[in-house]
Structure 1
Amino acid sequence: MVPSLKTLGQSKENSISWNQAKWIGYTEDNRLENWAARDLMRNQPPMDINTWEPTEKDLKVVRRKTHPSVLLRKSFSIEKEIASAEVAICGLGLYELYLNGSKVGDRVLDPAQTSYEKRAFFVRHDVTKTLKENNSLGIMLGNGFYGQNMAFSPKLVYGKPLALMVLNISYADSTKESIVTDESWKAHSSPILFDNIYLGETYDARKEIEDWSKSAFNDTSWDTVELMDAPTGNLLEQQLEPMRKIRKVDPVAILPAEKGWIIDMGKNMTGWLQINVEEKEGTEIKMRFSEHLMPDKRSIDPASTGIHVTGNTQTDIYICKGDGVETWEPRFTYHGYQYVQIEGLKNKPKLDQFTGWLVRSDIERIGTFKCSDELINSFYDVSMLTIEDNLQGLLSDCPHRERCAWMGDAYVVAEAASFNFNLERLWQKTADDMQTVLGVSKAHFRDPFPYDKRAPSNVSVGKRLNLQARPDWGAATVMIPYFSYIYYGNTSIVKKSWNMMEGWMGYLDEKVQEDGVINGGYGDWCPPGGNPNMDTPPALTSTALYYQSLVAMEKMAVLLGEKDNASIYKQRANTVKKAFNTRFFNNETNSYGSQTGNAFALYANLVSDDKKQWVANHLSDLIMNDKKGHFSTGIFGHRPLYTILNDYGHSKVTKHLWGITDYPSLGFVTKEHNLTTWPEHIANWDKRKRYHRNSFNHPMNSGFSASFHESLGGIRPNENHPGFQKFYLKPTFLEGLKWCDVAYKSPQGEIKSNWKRNKSKISWSIVIPENSSALVQLPAYESKQIKLNKKKVKSNTFELTTGSYIINIQ
């Protein structure tokens, strides 16, 4: 029997009853192995190898089939006038819903990934206007992450594709009827011969079944569906924005290749390629996707997309039916790529035959930045595209190799991402995902920290969880709900996550910290040149994150009215701050020993007031003298680096770092190598040789881009007044910039901070939305240098309420 599910929904009148519906699927597999299986490399190199050439032993392959993609259908008739009709459906791993021959809605890669044994999402579709007298429902199923049995390990699979659906019809006479998935449905294999979320899709257009989802279709030759075991008893409506085709990306060039042609999309993107071809029946069009080309530019180089762990390249294959121009795009896979090597075309293709689709969660863009320096603009644009490419129903670490929701990555980029995208729903899903992986994973084999049921995994969703969270990566357990609360004023995420956050902090307090210090963690991940160049002890960053979490817990405890807990967290934070400085601060040098040590200690407010400027001065010295004008920070130190420099009077160092293009620098990535997304780490690449196999699309390295809003624009949240009810305006008028325009759509409305320079004068335009106020802070200037709407001010710090203002500074 299929277990019945709870009645769930957003409200009582809109609830869905699943009691009569049954999980259905179809496991009959009549595909030829030649198409249903692909070769996977048997041996995988260690993850800490930066460059890798496969040996003969590595190239020995294992051949593995995917679960088949299937078509499910049911016809029915309606004899009364319809008032409303709604479908609720969960198709795992991925589905497309059809009604009367047309796809329902514009969602793709639906639903969002979850830990499927703990919970799965259903989605609603209003079909009131689509129903007729005679109707047919159709469901196409793909594997997604649920049926993923190829990359990394076949043990990651949850099961074979299946679906649960209810169509609720309300008639004009107040009667109701439900059409549900059950044994009355029919099933058939689909034209998709292979689909794997990592490795791609194979589609045979010759096997298309015309009008298969129309009511007049004769399905007597189809088989009866199979009843399937329920993957979970916890079915929830998806609140996260759906995945969609967000925008077209036109290719910029077609290059000749050793085999076929190479299509250059002009940017590193996430999504797929839509093709328009006219070939004879049976022609196989093969598309392989990569971020790079080989040095001779005659073939793709897929090493950075993870073939060493996924087992093969990202590859789509389309088999033509041969009846004129054919248009195709995949359904149940996506790729991280800039280049596509295409084989099988009889003639040289034209650019207008191809359209790239950038595919991501349809999350609103709420932040913008632009300034007079195009190199700095490129840093912002690259940061945003890298974030955007990884909004895939979660915040992934990269869109090709792992596609995992690593917790440390989410923490580092959370503020930059929240300034630019409305991630309130995504952060709620992330926090909920974390709760599904509490106590699931074993302790890390390299760590002295014990297993604990209160600890999450290093990855917040799925089966590839990469062991129990280390203390620095686990900080996201507290800080993601906290950041969501601060940026969006979201109190529900705090309430829903409170037990999880308290459990994690209790684990650290009882079993991990030693006299206020945490000795271990991943550390300041991916500095220039890779982790062997990490110059900050993991104990420093782990302890700083522990302190930051304690401070956040104190503030959230106050929010929840837990005064005793707030007092306890405050006391612990004071103890940790003292221990941190005793352990890591050098009184003789006024330093924490590294760029990251100094920058992150200042960012986390661990430095005593009388030492802050000294520490910032030493940070500047470490950059300009010790590292000869370059940064050496990994992801934790780089996040606050430029804001800290600017706040403490070292904006010239920021301008220097943002102006150079030699290794290591941001300009080395965007100008010297023309990369459009941030790599996993910056290495001293030689254009004449292959790039390292590390990913070249990692949003954790966009974390520093928060500085464009919080420092150049000066727009900063006030942690005591979340959701920008009150906020700070503390801009840096960066040397060499003629103008800077920054905007942020806060929960209260759009905040604008735009300034321009005329020789030694600054004209700064501000817009403060309704129901909010801002504290303007201009510590680098005296009050006599400042005029507000042409009037003198009494202080270089003053409050402004709703309205538009012009501040002149000279």
Structure 2
Amino acid sequence: MKLPARFIGSSAEYSDFSRHIPAPCLRKSFSLSLPVKSAEMLICGLGFYRLFVNGREITKGYLAPYISAPDDLLYFDRYDVSEYLTEGENIIGILLGNGMQNAFGGAVWEFDKAPFRGSPRVSFCLTAVTETKEEIRVQSDESVLCAASPIVFDELRCGEHYDSTKEQGGWTQKGFDDSAWKPAVFLEVPRGEARICECEPIVCSQILEPVSITPIDDGYLYDFGVNRAGLCSLQVTGRRGQEISLEHGERLLENGRLDLKNIAFVPEGYVQKDIFICNGKGEQNYVPSFTYHGFRYVFVKGITKQQATRNLLKYLVLHSDLQERGSFSCSCEILNKLQEMTRISTLSNFYYFPTDCPHREKNGWTGDASVSAEHMLLNLNPETSFQEWLRNIRKAQTEDGAFPGIVPTGGWGVDGWAGPAWDNVIVNLPYYTYIYRGNTQIIEENYGAILRYLHFLSAKRDQNGLIGFGLGDWCQPARPANTPKAPQVVTDSILSMDMAYKAAFLLEVIHMPLERDFAEALAKSLRESIRKHLVDFSAFCVKGNCQTSQAMAIFYGVFTKTEAVNGFQQLLKFIHAEDEHMDTGILGARVLFHVLSEFGYSNLAYRMITRTDFPSYGNWIVRGATSLWEEFQPENAVVTSRNHHFFGDVSHWMIKQIAGIRYNPSGSDGAKAVIHPHFIDALTFAQASHETPHGKLNVYWVRRNDEIFFFIRKPHNIMLMLELDAGYTFLNGRREYEVKEDTFECRVLISNRN
């Protein structure tokens, strides 16, 4: 399909902090002499657009069409507009926002210097076929008329300013007087590859009301009770010229005022701030068009006491339109809260692709997505969005095979500095998507980039055959983010080995034996180097002598199975040395609790997670967390973000280790599953589900005295094995049972256990 490439706008001038240029409205009038049989419209609005046909908005969702670097990929949306067209005059109305085309609020990551930076622009083509088979084409050109909109400022990270006194009512409808509007001008065509956007749109999934309204000095603090992401809907009757400002944040100072210091990467007065100016014409409703915020609290200035009502603000919770695929609940309210917090943080940070935080950065950090890929696929359906984002990641890959740490990027971080722990997103997203969904297309699309990266890694090996560059075990408790106990050469070398093994697996799936052999040889060579230079086999300790080094070596197979038993004893010593507290960053936390469960220590993992003193997940909860935080910090230290998903693998641990759901455990047969629960002593019941490609798999167990009652519902064509830990048996004395029934119930006896 040929996509239109005629970009127009109101001018080549673009906004910055010193000069605000209003978002442009574009209007195209055309006539149809006959009824249409079909009509399709293709549109690419950069950075964002809203689309109207004859006064009706038909935009697919918020922040359309996508968030990408225009020099890499240009996203078009396709609309069937036949039902909106009429005989006679018809009007196409388009409102444009800056988006990534002019993301000057991201100067920390040099988006203000991006080579594609420019003014908003749009390319569109409407093709209508009449009942007489006549084809009529309407496209972006100089016959389109432009004017300034009431959006006098918009920036993706900063917010939006809207002056409703400048509204031109009816501009998207027929009969509007556009004689004062000026013709559009042709603008530079971005260099990116044009394609239709295939991922889920951004939608409003929930509307929250404030739980409290508190007058503070010159304004009112609205508390919505939970830290999420989205926009506020403002409903107000104000006097003409009344200016109302909304500042959004996730934490408060001791005096109760909003604290924006942890998310302030832009000039003062621009931090997640929306401004609305009333026109005095009765009740008005305003929702920003081209931004979003991460927040729990909103500080409102410029309203009267009479206006400070519950109806003034509503919280529109926004995220990509991902559907639930997994669930977990149990008798422990801390675990239930963690499951809820993981879901909140995952969705708060999914705007077409996984981001790191919804307030400060809004960046697609690759390492964050990599450690979260499995728990996202267990709980939601992100695979289509993963596949779309991977197209952007491939475009960002350098000629020598390196990746930037964030995608999209305007050129910042493209020298491969992030390192293997972040770059393994190119393997982990295809790998886990294939495991859970059986998608081979995602492998076929990415194998070239994977191989290029493996060659890049090969060239980065040192004299000992090891790899150590970029970022390490990020955010270890009570330490600066990139000063972990685990040496970088340990985490990078192990993850590089893991990448190569996974790449070999994926290449085998798509029948590429020569490439598979290369990847497997690299993996084996890395493992040999790790074992030779990073492991002290006299004590079975990995360099660093810490929880992360030891757990990663066990989880990723540096040790043999026999050696791992001794290595695990050292891990227990490191845990006990910390008084049974977790002491890992995101790389160690991804594997630590799974290792404990696989060696029969799920009760210890449970205690480490749920204890309420620092550092622990439970400590977050008793300190008031409603979403996952970026760091484990003591009470008097700064937590830089209170809405991050990269510590969310705890949800995966609950579904897999407590409830026992292990779908496609071998990786090679999507028609098989194993249920192998670990019955935590402190729990009286646990429930989990996962929607496999064959249907939903449900597991529920409940403890009654010295027995456990098990209930399973499985898809008909799933082969299912039920396995028990030592110390538990079925009534026949066995610990394994092939479940052939679609609905199955059984009793489990609790025998002597160590």
TM-score, scaled relative to structure 1: 0.88
The 1:422–1:255 alpha-carbon spacing in structure 2 relative to 1, beyond 3 Å, is same
**Match for 2:457: what amino acid?**
L
Q: Deviations over 1:189-227 (max 9, x none)?
A: 000000011111000011111110112112111101111
Which residue does 2:151 correspond to in 1? 192
Which residue does 1:551 correspond to in 2? 501
The 1:181–1:308 alpha-carbon spacing in structure 2 relative to 1, beyond 3 Å, is closer
Mapping 1:44-59, distance limit 5 Å? none
Aligned equivalents of 1:532 and 1:637: distance in 2?
13
Q: Does 1:742 align with 2:742?
A: no
Deviation at 1:723, TM superposition (A): 7.4
Q: Does 1:457 align with 2:412?
A: no
The 1:723–1:435 alpha-carbon spacing in structure 2 relative to 1, beyond 3 Å, is farther
Aligned equivalents of 1:335 and 1:412: distance in 2?
24
Deviation at 1:456, TM superposition (A): 1.4
Q: Deviations over 1:105-137 (max 9, x none)?
A: 451110111121121110112222111223111
Aligned equivalents of 1:597 and 1:194: distance in 2?
48
The 1:464–1:741 alpha-carbon spacing in structure 2 relative to 1, beyond 3 Å, is farther
**Match for 1:621: what amino acid?**
K
**Match for 1:494: what amino acid?**
I
Contact 1:245/1:358 (8 A) holds in 2: yes
Q: Deviations over 1:367-408 (max 9, x none)?
A: 111111111111111111111100011111111212111111
Which residue does 1:729 correspond to in 2? 675
Contact 1:150/1:196 (8 A) holds in 2: yes
Aligned equivalents of 1:211 and 1:338: distance in 2?
35
Mapping 1:488-637, distance limit 5 Å? 488-512=437-461, 514-530=463-479, 531=481, 534-592=484-542, 593-623=545-575, 625-637=576-588
Which residue does 2:376 correspond to in 1? 417
From 80, 86, 100, the counterpart of 1:126: 80
Contact 1:620/1:650 (8 A) holds in 2: no
Which residue does 1:313 correspond to in 2? 271
Q: Does 1:73 align with 2:27?
A: yes
Q: Deviations over 1:250-292 (max 9, x none)?
A: 2111112122101111111111111111111000001111111
Decide which moves more: 515-524 or 122-131: 515-524
The 1:338–1:654 alpha-carbon spacing in structure 2 relative to 1, beyond 3 Å, is same
TM-score, scaled relative to structure 2: 0.94
Deviation at 1:500, TM superposition (A): 0.5
Contact 2:53/2:90 (8 A) holds in 1: yes
Mapping 1:629-648, distance limit 5 Å? 629-648=580-599
**Match for 1:483: what amino acid?**
Y
**Match for 2:560: what amino acid?**
S
**Match for 1:24: what amino acid?**
I
**Residue segments in structure 1 that go unaligned for 5+ positions in a row:** 1-6, 9-16, 39-63, 440-451
Contact 2:466/2:526 (8 A) holds in 1: yes
Which residue does 2:705 correspond to in 1? 759
Deviation at 1:462, TM superposition (A): 2.4
Aligned equivalents of 1:750 and 1:467: distance in 2?
41
Which residue does 1:48 correspond to in 2? none
Mapping 1:61-140, distance limit 5 Å? 64-133=18-87, 134-140=89-95
Q: Deviations over 1:77-100 (max 9, x none)?
A: 222222222211111100000111
CA RMSD of aligned residues (A): 2.1
The 1:324–1:654 alpha-carbon spacing in structure 2 relative to 1, beyond 3 Å, is same
Decide which moves more: 306-315 or 505-514: 306-315
Mapping 1:403-482, distance limit 5 Å? 403-439=362-398, 453-463=400-410, 465-469=412-416, 470-482=419-431
Deviation at 1:807, TM superposition (A): 3.2
Which residue does 1:43 correspond to in 2? none
Deviation at 1:76, TM superposition (A): 1.6
Aligned equivalents of 2:28 and 2:380: distance in 1?
40
Deviation at 1:751, TM superposition (A): 1.1
The 1:719–1:516 alpha-carbon spacing in structure 2 relative to 1, beyond 3 Å, is farther
From 693, 711, 720, the counterpart of 1:774: 720
Q: Percent identity?
A: 26
Aligned equivalents of 2:488 and 2:348: distance in 1?
29
Contact 1:244/1:359 (8 A) holds in 2: yes
Q: Does 1:26 align with 2:10?
A: yes
Aligned equivalents of 2:16 and 2:599: distance in 1?
59
Decide which moves more: 177-186 or 564-573: 564-573
**Match for 2:586: what amino acid?**
I
Which residue does 1:47 correspond to in 2? none
SS in 2 for 1:472: helix
Which residue does 2:752 correspond to in 1? none
Decide which moves more: 658-667 or 589-598: 589-598
The 1:642–1:311 alpha-carbon spacing in structure 2 relative to 1, beyond 3 Å, is farther
Deviation at 1:148, TM superposition (A): 1.5
Deviation at 1:563, TM superposition (A): 2.1
Q: Deviations over 1:576-615 (max 9, x none)?
A: 2232223333334333321112222222122211122333
Deviation at 1:464, TM superposition (A): 5.6
**Match for 1:96: what amino acid?**
R
Contact 1:488/1:722 (8 A) holds in 2: no
Count the aligned residue pairs. Answer: 738
Aligned equivalents of 1:629 and 1:774: distance in 2?
35
SS in 2 for 1:613: helix
**Match for 2:100: what amino acid?**
F
Q: Deviations over 1:401-444 (max 9, x none)?
A: 121111111111111111111111121122211111111xxxxx
Q: Deviations over 1:119-162 (max 9, x none)?
A: 11101122221112231110000001112123314213621100
SS in 1 for 2:102: coil
Decide which moves more: 71-80 or 558-567: 558-567
Q: Deviations over 1:758-787 (max 9, x none)?
A: 1221112122213322333324246xx214
Contact 1:305/1:693 (8 A) holds in 2: no
Contact 2:158/2:266 (8 A) holds in 1: no
Aligned equivalents of 2:739 and 2:412: distance in 1?
47
SS in 1 for 2:50: strand
**Residue segments in structure 2 that go unaligned for 5+ positions in a row:** 750-754
**Match for 1:509: what amino acid?**
S
Contact 1:548/1:604 (8 A) holds in 2: yes
Deviation at 1:527, TM superposition (A): 0.8
Q: Does 1:804 align with 2:753?
A: no
Deviation at 1:308, TM superposition (A): 6.2
**Match for 1:608: what amino acid?**
T
Aligned equivalents of 1:722 and 1:552: distance in 2?
13
Deviation at 1:66, TM superposition (A): 4.3
**Match for 2:43: what amino acid?**
I
From 652, 655, 662, the counterpart of 2:603: 652
Contact 1:779/1:797 (8 A) holds in 2: no
Deviation at 1:719, TM superposition (A): 5.6
The 1:418–1:67 alpha-carbon spacing in structure 2 relative to 1, beyond 3 Å, is farther
Contact 1:309/1:401 (8 A) holds in 2: no
Q: Does 1:786 align with 2:730?
A: yes
SS in 2 for 1:145: helix
Decide which moves more: 321-330 or 229-238: 229-238
Aligned equivalents of 1:684 and 1:589: distance in 2?
33
Contact 2:630/2:639 (8 A) holds in 1: no
Aligned equivalents of 1:654 and 1:641: distance in 2?
8
SS in 2 for 1:129: helix
Which residue does 1:59 correspond to in 2? none
Aligned equivalents of 2:250 and 2:301: distance in 1?
18
Aligned equivalents of 2:82 and 2:19: distance in 1?
40
Aligned equivalents of 1:780 and 1:581: distance in 2?
31
Contact 1:635/1:703 (8 A) holds in 2: no
